Amino acid sequence: MLLPKHNRFLKHPKLLTSHFIPLSLHAPPSHYFTTTSPPSPPPPPPQDLTITNLILTTDSKALPQTLQAHNINWTQDLVHKTLKRLWNHGPKALQFFNILDRHHSYTHSATAFDHAIDIAARLRDYKALWILMTRMKTRMLGPNPKTFAIVIERLVAAGKPDRAVKVFLSMHDHGVIQDLHCFNMFLDVLCKSRRVEMAYNLFKAFRGRFRVDTITYNVLVNGFCLIKRTPRGLEIMREMVERGVEPSLGTYNTMLKGFFRAGQVKEAWGFFLEMKKRKCEIDVVTYTTVVHGLGVVGEVKRARKVFDEMIDAGVLPSVATYNAFIQILCKKDCVENATLVFDEMVKKGYVPNSTTYGVLIRGWCHVGKMDRAMEYMDRMKSDECEPNVQTYNVVIRYYCDDGELEKALEVFERMGGGECLPNLDTYNVLISAMFVRKTADDLLVAGKLLIEMVDRGFLPRKFMYNRVLNGLLLTGHQEFAKEILRLHSTSGRLPRHFRL
């Protein structure tokens, strides 16, 4: 994993003799050398990946000069892609953004500002956030409704819903009109964070100001279904009809999913039959919801019957439908049958996405066949479908649970190439695993991981911080523990309360 030189964590002792080599770099079988034509060179990596690696491997102080020396032709698309790749290294992403903000021939777009504002908000660096908002306004690039959606969502996620309300009410001060679309967005953020009653109270307070529509009611129905209060969801449906707003197919699908989420299978099935009776134009989303809902409660045969029924009804399954079916087979049947459905899907011309591979990889991990899981991770690359951070985390977690810490670290090393950087969950899983054997070497790795995660803008829990520091002290790494304290106390990134 890439770190500043002075913080680079030591290779695990057993890894020194067992480096992971990606499949694409394996030497070809000997019989391949009988051909006279030379092998074609591998395609060059995307430019944004090369730049991301350059940024990650360059010390922060030297980064401005390094980027200038490479004489890169910056385009807005290239910058957007690079910021996305740097998403899980917030400090480096913001530094990269600020360096280019002073570039003589490149100008940031509104989208680039939105990326930077989102990263600053995730880091809870609200001072940087408002500086970016002001800069955006000065350059007449915004802020726009999307910018406020980002800020509001991050404030709610940080447990600051009241502050999010104030930001919403102040939008007009920044030249952004509070229209129905913005209002629906705001309610949706509150509902998805399970603050549904707060959303409903705001809905009642402002529905005279905004001419609420089907989308508004759908957001509220979904909110009550998320917290498994389906009777309230039905009340909202009745209210919308009484006020002359026609429920859409999306409204019905949301309510159907809500019944299944609440474990009310009988009610869900009755609702589905009622939709048929009323001749609703049942679509692929409806069928996918029923297939997944029945499968989750273990009714796999019934789910298969509905899956076949949708094809007979002329509704073709989507990739999402196959994903749902593969997932329930992995959980409630067997991964071998899930793999057969995956193969059937591919034969019919469907292109698996990261979710498809993710559920199948998790299935093979769950039955302890990690080699098969890794085969499908490598197959993803050949299908031009990169594993996402959730897929990496699943594999790392299962390796750790099996006590295969070296293999978990090998997978972790694969994430350091800039294609998919680790997130907070990745570090938490690995650091916790280092306390299973409680060896001095393992705890040294835990300390190095702790330094890296903090450098990347992730704040560890107080318990995690204390555990690592105490572990280092107990295993004879007193100086390293003091170095961690010194580095992070000066950077201001320590948890507010900690003890040794």
Q: Which domains does the chain have, with CATH numbers?
A: 191-280 (1.25.40.10)
Rounded mean pLDDT for each run of 10 residues along the chain, 500 residues in total: 38 36 37 52 84 93 93 95 94 96 94 97 94 94 94 94 93 89 95 95 92 96 97 96 94 97 96 91 95 95 94 92 96 94 95 95 96 94 87 97 94 84 95 92 94 88 88 90 78 50
Tokens encoding 43: 């395609």
Quote the pTM value. Answer: 0.82
Q: Dihedral sign for Cα 415, 417, 421, 426, please.
A: positive
The pLDDT value recorded for residue 31 is 41
Q: Does residue 276 come out as left (phi exceeding 0), alpha (psi in the -120 to 50 range) or beta?
A: alpha
CB 302 within 8 A of CB 265: no
Residues contacting residue 233 through CB under 8 Å, at least 6 positions apart: 221, 224, 225, 254, 255, 258
Cα separation, 454 vs 89, in Å, equals: 10
C-alpha count within 13 angstroms, C-beta hemisphere, residue 320: 8
* Residue 143 preceded by cis peptide, ω within 30: yes
Instruction: Look at residue 493 in the predicted model and tell me its pLDDT.
Output: 54
User: Looking at residue 11, what is its pLDDT?
Assistant: 45
- C-alpha 325/C-alpha 304 separation (Å) is 8
pLDDT of residue 37: 59
* Contact present, 415 and 421 (Cβ < 8 Å): yes
Return d(Cα 303, Cα 287) in angstroms, integer: 10
Residue type, 85: R
**Nearest to residue 24, comparing CAs of 393, 460, 379?**
379
Task: Please give the Cα distance from 343 to 8 (Å, whole number).
Answer: 42
